[in-house]
């Protein structure tokens, strides 16, 4: 299958796109915060047997241009890709931040073929009420530790990368300036996203979705979490299930799949995710 890269540059924010080809109903792939369209290179070929598959770099990421993180503007970016490539109404598959964009896309397109949200409902840095199963004292201490980790990451993002560290990133994820090499997105944009109320919790919006939607939830921690942060993650997942599942009780167009994977599920279980996407689309549209 021929893969082609292109840039849409006739709009305020240029958009970098990878067209994986394929024939059939279109699928559009949206990566998470700090990711790029490269994150789909293993999964996308598993879908092209029955779908036209396209991935894009979100604004501020990869080779796409910079712009403020405004959800409506991001949705307009997605629409620009859809229109430029003639994708009609695609099934939108998003991971993490991309899954939150997918939820917003579903609200804008209630009659569309649907979305697949890959572990993109609630950020780890959320309010205590978003966790379940931890006592108040432990929870506050663990959240303080988590916030300190994120604060340190934010401070590091504002500084040029040491040369040895820069070599660890794909070139697409870096921006070279006169001051040095920086990881994308910028510290400013990452801060906008990190503190955005919707990014912290998109679960309530699920109740407003009218098109088919599949929510794929992780069941394991990301490997290598620092300190005691790993103790928070089961409580975060439990809180998501506690708040999400009641919303699905009388909404048969909304589905949940729990996957034996961590938040990096598209890298860990591409085959399982591909089967889930293909099965969901076939079941909800009557088309393979």
Question: Is CATH 2.40.70.10 the classification given to domain 4-146+185-286?
Answer: no
pLDDT tens profile 242-280: 999 999 999 999 999 999 999 999 999 999 999 999 999
Tell me the mean pLDDT in the region 52-63. Answer: 98
Indicate if the pLDDT at residue 225 is higher than 90: no
Q: Which tokens belong to 127?
A: 């309010």
Q: If pLDDT is split at 50, 70 and 90, which confidence band does 39 have? A: very high
Domain boundaries, the chain: 4-146+185-286
Rounded to whole angstroms, the Cα distance separating 103 from 284 reads 17
Supply the pLDDT for residue 188.
94
Report pLDDT digits (tens) over 80-121. 999 999 999 999 999 999 999 999 999 999 999 999 999 999
Tokens of 158: 């504002």
CB 225 within 8 Å of CB 233: yes
Task: List the helix and strand counts (H, then E) for the chain.
Answer: 9, 10
Closest CA to 32 of 79, 93, 90, 81: 93
Identify the pLDDT of residue 288. 61
CB atoms within 10 A of CB 262: 18
At 167 the pLDDT is 86
Please say if the pLDDT value at position 164 is more than 90. no
């Amino acid at each position: 299958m021929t893969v082609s890269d292109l840039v849409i540059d006739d709009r305020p924010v240029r958009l970098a796109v990878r067209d994986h080809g394929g024939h059939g109903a279109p699928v559009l792939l949206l990566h998470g915060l700090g990711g790029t369209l490269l994150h789909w290179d293993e999964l996308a070929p598993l879908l092209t047997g029955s779908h036209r598959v396209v991935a894009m770099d979100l604004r501020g990421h990869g080779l796409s241009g910079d712009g403020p993180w405004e959800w409506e503007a991001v949705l307009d970016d997605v629409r620009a890709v859809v229109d430029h490539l003639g994708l009609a109404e695609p099934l939108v598959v998003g991971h993490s931040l991309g899954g939150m964009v997918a939820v917003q896309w579903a609200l804008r397109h209630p009659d569309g073929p649907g979305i697949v949200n890959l572990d993109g409902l609630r950020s780890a840095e959320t309010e205590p009420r978003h966790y379940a199963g931890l006592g108040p004292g432990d929870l506050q201490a663990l959240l303080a530790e988590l916030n300190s980790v994120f604060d340190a990451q934010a401070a590091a993002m504002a500084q040029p990368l040491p040369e040895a560290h820069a070599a660890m990133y794909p070139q697409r994820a870096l921006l070279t300036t006169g001051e040095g090499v920086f990881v994308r997105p910028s510290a400013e944009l990452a801060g906008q996203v990190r503190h955005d109320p919707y990014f912290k919790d998109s679960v309530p919006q699920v109740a407003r979705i009218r098109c088919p939607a599949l929510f794929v939830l992780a069941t394991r921690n990301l490997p290598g979490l620092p300190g005691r942060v790993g103790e928070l993650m089961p409580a975060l997942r439990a809180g998501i299930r506690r708040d999400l599942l009641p919303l699905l009780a009388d909404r048969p167009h909304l589905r949940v799949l729990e996957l034996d994977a961590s938040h990096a599920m598209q890298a860990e279980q591409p085959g399982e995710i591909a089967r889930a996407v293909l099965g969901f689309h076939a079941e909800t549209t009557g088309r393979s």
